[in-house]
Amino acid sequence: MQTAIGEIQTLFVDVLLPVPIPKYFRYRVPSDMVEMVQKGVRVMVEFGRRRILTGIIVESSEFPPSSYQAKYLLDILEETPSVNDKQLKFWKWMADYYLCHEGDVLQAALPSGLKLNSQSRIQVNPDFDEEDLADLSDKAVRLFRAVRHQQSIPYEQSADILEVKSPYPYIKEMIQAEAIIIYEEVKEKYKPKKVSKVRLNPTLLENASGLEEVFTSLAKKPKQEDILLKYLGLVPVYNDPNVNDAGVDKKKLLEEGKEMSPSSLKTLVKNGILEEFSEVVSRFDDAHFQLYQNMGHDFELSEAQQNAYSQILESFKTKDATVLHGVTGSGKTEIYIKLIQDVIEGGGQALFLLPEIALSTQMVVRLMKVFGDQLGVYHSRYSDNERVEVWRGVNEGRFSVIVGVRSSIFLPFEDLSLIIVDEEHETSYKQHEPAPRYHARDMALVLGRMHQAKVILGSATPSVESYYLAQKGQFGLVSLTERFGNATLPEIIIADLKKERKQKKLKGDFSSRLVDEVRSAIDKEEQVILFQNRRGYSPFVMCEECSWTPTCPSCAVSLTYHIYKNDLRCHYCGYREATPKTCVSCGSTKIKTVGTGTQKIEEEIQNFVPAARVQRMDQDTTRKKYGYQQIIEDFEQGHIDILVGTQMVSKGLDFDNVTLVGICNMDQMMFFPDFRAMERAFQMAVQVSGRAGRKSKEGKVVIQTYNADHPLLKKIIKQYYEGFFRVELKERHQYSYPPFTRLIKVTVKSEDQLLGEKAALQLAKGLTRRLGIKRVLGPQAPTINKIRNKYLQEVMLKFERQNFDLLKAKGILKEEIFIIETEPFFKKVQIVIDVDPL
Please, are residues 681 and 666 in contact by the beta-carbon 8 Å criterion?
Answer: yes
Characterize the bridge pairing of strands 700-705 and 560-562. Answer: unpaired
Tell me 538's DSSP state.
B
Tell me 245's DSSP state.
-
In terms of CB distance, is 333 or 665 closer to ligand ADP?
333
The interface partner of residue 331, options being Zn ion, ligand ADP, none and the CB cut-off 5 to 8 Å by kind, is ligand ADP
Please, are residues 473 and 734 in contact by the beta-carbon 8 Å criterion?
Answer: no
Of these, 162, 546, 761, 838, which contacts Zn ion (CB under 5 A)? 546
Q: Is 459 in the site for ligand ADP (CB under 6 A)?
A: no
Please, are residues 572 and 630 in contact by the beta-carbon 8 Å criterion?
Answer: no
Restricting to residues 570-589, name those near Zn ion by CB under 5 A.
570, 572-573, 575, 583, 585-586, 588
Stretch that binds ligand ADP, among 161-169, 299-307, 585-593, 708-716 (CB under 6 A): 299-307
Q: Is 361 in the site for ligand ADP (CB under 6 A)?
A: no
Say how far residue 549 (Cα) sits from the centre of its chain. 34
Report the C-alpha gap between 282 and 250 in whole angstroms. Answer: 17
Q: Is 555 in the site for Zn ion (CB under 5 A)?
A: yes
Residues 797, 803, 808, 810, Cα dihedral to 10°: 30
Q: Is 305 in the site for ligand ADP (CB under 6 A)?
A: yes
In terms of CB distance, is 231 or 484 closer to ligand ADP?
484
Stretch that binds Zn ion, among 74-82, 185-193, 537-545, 642-650 (CB under 5 A): 537-545
Burial of 782 (C-beta count, 10 Å sphere; 0-12/13-18/19+)? middle
Of these, 18, 113, 247, 329, which contacts ligand ADP (CB under 6 A)? 329
In terms of CB distance, is 123 or 629 closer to ligand ADP?
629
Restricting to residues 520-549, name those near ligand ADP by CB under 6 A.
none
Stretch that binds ligand ADP, among 296-304, 409-417, 603-611, 813-821 (CB under 6 A): 296-304
Binding-site size for ligand ADP (CB under 6 A) equals 16
Closest approach of ligand ADP to the CB of residue 684, in Å? 15
Please, are residues 588 and 545 in contact by the beta-carbon 8 Å criterion?
Answer: yes
Please, are residues 354 and 363 in contact by the beta-carbon 8 Å criterion?
Answer: yes
In terms of CB distance, is 420 or 614 closer to ligand ADP?
420
Stretch that binds ligand ADP, among 98-106, 294-302, 372-380, 539-547 (CB under 6 A): 294-302
Kindly give, in sequence order, each residue whose CB lies less than 8 Å from that of residue 99, ignoring residues fewer than 6 positions away.
744, 810, 813, 814, 833, 835
Stretch that binds ligand ADP, among 153-161, 176-184, 300-308, 639-647 (CB under 6 A): 300-308
Report the C-alpha gap between 643 and 606 in whole angstroms. Answer: 11
Secondary element (H or E) of residue 250: helix 250-255
Is residue 100 part of an annotated ligand binding site? Answer: no
In terms of CB distance, is 424 or 794 closer to ligand ADP?
424
Closest approach of ligand ADP to the CB of residue 366, in Å? 7
Site string for ligand ADP, 111-150 (x = CB under 6 A): ----------------------------------------
Characterize the bridge pairing of strands 349-353 and 401-404. Answer: parallel
The interface partner of residue 575, options being ligand ADP, Zn ion, none and the CB cut-off 5 to 8 Å by kind, is Zn ion
In terms of CB distance, is 647 or 668 closer to ligand ADP?
647
Please, are residues 744 and 763 in contact by the beta-carbon 8 Å criterion?
Answer: no
Please, are residues 699 and 661 in contact by the beta-carbon 8 Å criterion?
Answer: yes
The interface partner of residue 305, options being Zn ion, ligand ADP, none and the CB cut-off 5 to 8 Å by kind, is ligand ADP
Q: Is 687 in the site for ligand ADP (CB under 6 A)?
A: no
In terms of CB distance, is 330 or 463 closer to ligand ADP?
330
Please, are residues 94 and 438 in contact by the beta-carbon 8 Å criterion?
Answer: yes
In terms of CB distance, is 377 or 552 closer to Zn ion?
552
Burial letters 205-218, b for 16+ CB under 10 A, else e? eeeeeebeebeeeb
Restricting to residues 190-209, name those near Zn ion by CB under 5 A.
none
Q: Is 541 in the site for Zn ion (CB under 5 A)?
A: no
Closest approach of Zn ion to the CB of residue 576, in Å? 10
Please, are residues 649 and 643 in contact by the beta-carbon 8 Å criterion?
Answer: yes
The interface partner of residue 442, options being Zn ion, ligand ADP, none and the CB cut-off 5 to 8 Å by kind, is none
Closest approach of ligand ADP to the CB of residue 330, in Å? 4
**CA distance readout (Å), 694 to 49, 100, 334:** 60, 44, 15
Q: What is the CA radius of gyration of the chain?
A: 32
Closest approach of ligand ADP to the CB of residue 703, in Å? 20
* Residues facing 792 on adjacent strands: 749
Characterize the bridge pairing of strands 540-543 and 401-404. Answer: unpaired
Restricting to residues 471-500, name those near ligand ADP by CB under 6 A.
484
Helix%, strand%, coil% for the chain, nearest 5: 40, 25, 40
In terms of CB distance, is 16 or 685 closer to ligand ADP?
685
Stretch that binds Zn ion, among 250-258, 568-576, 666-674, 727-735 (CB under 5 A): 568-576
Report the C-alpha gap between 519 and 522 in whole angstroms. Answer: 5
What sign has the CA pseudo-torsion 465, 467, 471, 474? positive
Q: Is 744 in the site for Zn ion (CB under 5 A)?
A: no
Q: Is 341 in the site for ligand ADP (CB under 6 A)?
A: no
In terms of CB distance, is 329 or 779 closer to ligand ADP?
329
Q: Provide DSSP, 294-355.
A: T----PPPPHHHHHHHHHHHHHHTT-SEEEEEE-TTS-HHHHHHHHHHHHHHTT-EEEEE--
Q: Is 654 in the site for ligand ADP (CB under 6 A)?
A: yes
Closest CA to 650 of 689, 692, 688: 688
The interface partner of residue 597, options being ligand ADP, Zn ion, none and the CB cut-off 5 to 8 Å by kind, is none
Closest approach of ligand ADP to the CB of residue 329, in Å? 4
Q: Is 332 in the site for ligand ADP (CB under 6 A)?
A: yes
Tell me 662's DSSP state.
E
Closest CA to 705 of 506, 435, 568: 506
The interface partner of residue 332, options being ligand ADP, Zn ion, none and the CB cut-off 5 to 8 Å by kind, is ligand ADP
Omega of the bond leading into 241 within 30 degrees of 0 (cis): no
Of these, 70, 301, 755, 806, which contacts ligand ADP (CB under 6 A)? 301
Closest approach of ligand ADP to the CB of residue 630, in Å? 21
Please, are residues 186 and 116 in contact by the beta-carbon 8 Å criterion?
Answer: yes
Report the C-alpha gap between 684 and 674 in whole angstroms. Answer: 15
What sign has the CA pseudo-torsion 812, 817, 818, 820? positive
Of these, 158, 315, 328, 705, which contacts ligand ADP (CB under 6 A)? 328
Q: Is 334 in the site for ligand ADP (CB under 6 A)?
A: yes
In terms of CB distance, is 329 or 355 closer to ligand ADP?
329
Is residue 664 part of an annotated ligand binding site? Answer: no
Kindly give, in sequence order, each residue whose CB lies less than 8 Å from that of residue 157, ignoring residues fewer than 6 positions away.
none
One-letter amino acid at 622 equals T
Please, are residues 343 and 399 in contact by the beta-carbon 8 Å criterion?
Answer: no
Closest CA to 224 of 185, 253, 189: 253
Q: Is 552 in the site for Zn ion (CB under 5 A)?
A: yes
In terms of CB distance, is 11 or 685 closer to ligand ADP?
685
Stretch that binds ligand ADP, among 15-23, 307-315, 327-335, 545-553 (CB under 6 A): 327-335
Closest approach of ligand ADP to the CB of residue 336, in Å? 8
Residues in contact with Zn ion by CB under 5 A are: 543, 545-546, 548, 552, 554-555, 570, 572-573, 575, 583, 585-586, 588
Please enumerate, by residue number, every residue annotated as part of a binding site for Zn(2+): 543, 546, 552, 555, 570, 573, 583, 586
Residues in contact with ligand ADP by CB under 6 A are: 299-302, 305, 326, 328-334, 484, 654, 694
Please enumerate, by residue number, every residue annotated as part of a binding site: 543, 546, 552, 555, 570, 573, 583, 586
